[in-house]
Structure 1
């Protein structure tokens, strides 16, 4: 799970007549990615397979569109009999074409409707800025005393709206569009002059109608076409439902044929032999040799060292339950074959950080239900990435529900802590869920350093302690990230990368770990020890000679020297790299550039990356106090002179609005910030993501055994008997 699977480059030489059997077995093997041969036995290819591959791909695209428009889950089902893959491709091509013809009229109708909708929506966007103007443009543009022009302009055209004796009214529509009304005395401003100098056309409507009238007409047509589109889609869905299994079976055959033709199209052929080459996991090469025993001659070799032309695909073996975390990593980039995968890192850190920043059981439950719906939507659309991201959100929301339970938060403080927590007074009652909440107050109080919410009063000391703990989490993550960078450099056997890129970072990011981990020498006084060391750090930064009166102050001075030495090392490293790889740069310029990158910038990043983890606390506090504010307003209404029934309704609406805002806005922000902490603070220390995923060919439907395979098995059984 930490390092990618070892891959071997496999070369298969077989009799040309056995090509189809070899392809079938490679599909069933499901762990072979075909490549162009490095040393081809000839320049001859199977050109027919390359041509058919394009045809099959077109069918796949059409079938995906058909199933998507009909709202059918995009998946492969069924079985097929292998044989001559070129002939099978022709047969399925004809079968797919025939099936597509059944939906041709409906698809063409849907296409026409969508084109019309796009056209009308474009017209609607044009008239939208002026839709409130009810005067016909014929009248507006032909006044006796004034010239009036309507136009939409881009931000860079605003500066050109300077005409003598002209009143200019502007209104921002969006980031890219401004609506403008120009008013001037009659015959002082010409239409042609406006269009030439500004570069924007004066707005006009068909037959000079008012923008208000045109907007309503276009909106009416859009509503009508949308209704027709839904009805047409319903017809397509009804027609497809009648033969859904058959469509999925053809789709599965097309996928299987695509992979079979991919193998054939990349093969090379001589007068008697065919050459197939590609990558397979090293541990499975023995299996592929056994499956092709007696039919092909197989050789293998391990990839060459990092930095050479060889670029093997990356396969990370993960249990199915945690494989979804891979989707977050892939947003950054696929791990290269030569580096440690950060997936094992994310399995723990991503959901935990999300839960610490979003500790509310009720809000997390809503996010969980949304993620379940989004997962089903992605599955129906056949979008693997949507499914994976949905599962990541499911896992993260489950952790957030756990932290919400521990914090005793359910849609804010009002339902558990109640008015007593909101108003911070024992005069008021607790919430209706206070006594039945599964986590007692004593447990929540014991976790106040990690989750400092949900208490009747939140002390500043608790916030300070939580800040220290948040930064310690960041310091630990940054140290581990830097250590992984060093391990990657050692694994790549790249001495320059190790000495001048990764080792300086490890030296620098060891300091925050020592600084905020110092408290563990006395766990009962963790925060006191860390605060004492921080005080010693500040004292020795601003005093000379250094204060070495206590062991803590001595350590603080050592850490200051440590950082200085690390920054100087990083500065010299950057100078060396600049001189080596940018030979035209002089020594003075290299020293200056090295100082900016390796000294000044590295020091700023050391400080900012470490402190950045305070956001764990900040977003949790922001979430709590947003709901606290809406709960406070709701309870003020409830305890006001407003009639009780009306007050309950108004208070409920206020609290519900606060929760909707927290779920929609903060849930998204926390998810993004969680990714940011990983992508920019952690991954940048060790992860390059310049690899390519392992994409093996496979059979998407069950492949029945052919006559030759059955005969071969019978012969083996007879021989064994």
Structure 2
């Protein structure tokens, strides 16, 4: 009753005093339902004046309504925690459904841990209609239960990346026979005695004729016996994290095109999007090319002659060529100079292009108004989207509020921030490598220092020690690797989406559409 009177108090009396007038927001798709509800209410109340609605023009910023279901609600809440999108702005939640659990799994890749996480989430999904679970007041449990589909995808993706890493509780899965075979012509042939006597055996990929094909999927399990396993996996994961990061950021920059086209700003595609993309691809996209090119051209036999990508990347900015570091391909120096020049030329376009266009557009609009005309499409309610990190206002129709210096200053801040963030954000994606390494090492420590101690003896009296060791291993695995490491990987994946991905196209300065409903009231119970 209080809620109803609160809404009625916000209405205005008609001049006749016989009805109330309310100005409300309503989704366009629900207008038909609104009309039916008004007619039904008038008929049940026996009102002499029928209730109806009419659409009125407005210059206010429209609220944002993102319809969700049980599956997408968790992903939408991640985006809304950063900021509610402006009206009709590109919603990152659609892409977060895939990118978030995948980046999490890159850091959390383990078949065993991902399976445990998936089973826990599957149990919550199976019992999602249980009223006791829904009414649980524990805040931590509520967060887990509301994000059950997110946890399920994170677990499934972790199983996939764990298979790529060939890592299951720090042990390898020999699903296929190893592709590593030592040639009989080589003196150092491993025997069963060597494997039992030596704790670590170094693998030399430069030995010829040691491979018989390629391991079908993931990392060859023989690497878990190698003393130089970390040298191989660190290089692989570090380069892979850079590749994934640059692809992710370029995808975010590309999404800004949809905002520009939807809000009738096609010139921003040429003045903002293309310079940003050219700057990113000319420098860091070229770095991805060097990594992939080196993987393809150089084999295990010629890996010692492979030049350093890092030195080439540094020489690229210094316009030099180290004599001790051979070129990867012909005319590499010329190509690198051209790419740096393109990146440098994109900076002034990004710095002056957008402000000059806004000033020109403002001057044209002012002349048109002085001539007694108004350009079409100047409805302020449709131009609230901010597609850049600067907050550009479409109040340029008010001549007194327009300040060209302010426009240039905001664009200069955005340009400097974008150019510097291309470097810092690329380095930030190295957390994919660091967290993956930390997770694998902690898993190996738990196996070596805890559970493996129970297998030292084979007599029956040692079974008690094995039972205790397994219980301790299980508790530490859940507490440290699943909860603490899982939360750490979740927070790092969250940061990568908020800072490195969403800031390329998403501002989130809108406000959410919250309809009047008794289900939103705290006193209401049993609403479904």
TM-score relative to the length of structure 1:
0.48
Task: Return the alpha-carbon distance in structure 2 between the equivalents of residues 492 and 378 of structure 1.
Answer: 44
The reply to whether residue 488 of structure 1 matches residue 268 of structure 2 is no
CA deviation string 1:587-616 (max 9, x = no partner) = xxx99x9888744x5443211211322222
- Counterpart contact for 1:504–1:570, Cα < 8 Å: yes
2:317 is the alignment partner of 1:541: yes
Q: Deviations over 1:115-172 (max 9, x none)?
A: xxxxxxxxxxxxxxxxxxxxxxxxxxxxxxxxxxxxxxxxxxxxxxxxxxxxxxxxxx
In structure 2, what is the equivalent of residue 298 of structure 1? 53
User: Which string of whole-angstrom CA distances, capped at 9 and with x for unpartnered residues, describes residues 36-60 of structure 1?
Assistant: xxxxxxxxxxxxxxxx52xxxxxxx
Q: Which residue in the other structure is 1:362 paired with?
A: 112
Counterparts of 1:644 and 1:386, CA distance in 2: 39
Residue 456 in structure 1 maps to residue 225 in structure 2:
yes
Distance change in 2, residues 1:521/1:614 (3 Å): closer
> Superposition pairs for residues 192-231 of structure 1, below 5 Å?
none
**2:345 maps to which residue?**
565
**Matches for 1:385-400 after TM superposition, within 5 Å:** 387-400=145-158
Asked if structure 2 preserves the Cα contact closer than 8 Å seen for 1:489 and 1:498, the reply is yes
- CA–CA separation in structure 2 for the residues paired with 1:671 and 1:338: 28
What RMSD over aligned residues (CA atoms) do the two structures have, in Å?
Answer: 5.0
Call closer, same or farther: CA 1:312–1:597 in 2, change over 3 Å. Answer: closer
Superposition deviation, residue 300 in structure 1: 1.7
Deviation, 1:668, is: 0.9
Matches within 5 A, 1:672-691: 672-691=491-510
Q: CA deviation at 1:514?
A: 3.1
Q: Which residue does 2:437 correspond to in 1?
A: 621
Give the stretch that moved more between structures: 339-348 or 281-290.
281-290
After superposition, the C-alpha distances for 1:431-455 in whole angstroms (9 at most, x for unaligned) are xxxxxxxxxxx9976323xx99974
1:427 paired residue number:
196
The alignment partner of 2:483 has SS state of helix
Matches within 5 A, 1:280-679: 280-289=26-35, 292=38, 295-301=50-56, 304=59, 310-318=60-68, 320-368=70-118, 379-381=134-136, 387-405=145-163, 407-413=165-171, 426-427=195-196, 446-448=217-219, 455-457=224-226, 458=229, 460-493=231-264, 504-511=275-282, 514-516=285-287, 518=289, 525=296, 536-544=312-320, 550-572=330-352, 598-599=415-416, 602-634=418-450, 635=452, 638-639=455-456, 644-645=462-463, 648-649=466-467, 651-652=469-470, 655-656=473-474, 658-659=476-477, 660-679=479-498
Shift in CA distance, 265/609, structure 1 to aligned 2, threshold 3 Å:
same
8 Å contact kept, 1:378–1:386: no
Give the SS at the match of 2:516: coil
- 1:355 CA drift (Å): 1.7
The 1-side partners of 2:242 and 2:165 are apart by 20
Going from structure 1 to structure 2, the CA distance change for 1:283 and 1:373 (only over 3 Å counts) comes to closer
State TM-score, norm by structure 2.
0.63
Q: Which has the higher strand share?
A: 1
Give the Cα–Cα distance (whole angstroms) in 1 for the partners of residues 86 and 76 of structure 2. Answer: 14
Ranges in structure 1 where 5+ consecutive residues have no aligned partner: 1-51, 54-257, 305-309, 430-441, 702-721
For residues 394-447 of structure 1, the C-alpha deviation after alignment (integer angstroms, 9 at most, x for no partner) is 321232234335545443328989xx9xx9974399xxxxxxxxxxxx997632
C-alpha contact 2:169 2:447 (8 A) present in aligned 1 = no
The CA distance in 2 between the partners of 1:509 and 1:462, in whole Å, is 27
Which moves more between the two structures, 267-276 or 652-661? 652-661
Q: In terms of Rg, which structure is larger? A: 1
Q: 1:406 to 1:303 in 2, by over 3 A?
A: farther
Partner of 2:78, secondary structure, is helix
**Distance change in 2, residues 1:265/1:478 (3 Å):** same
1:476 Cα offset (Å)? 1.2
Equivalent runs, 1:191-270 vs 2, <5 Å = 258=3, 260-261=4-5, 263-270=7-14
Superposition deviation, residue 363 in structure 1? 2.3
Distance 1:662 1:470 in 2: 21
How many residue pairs align between the two structures?
417
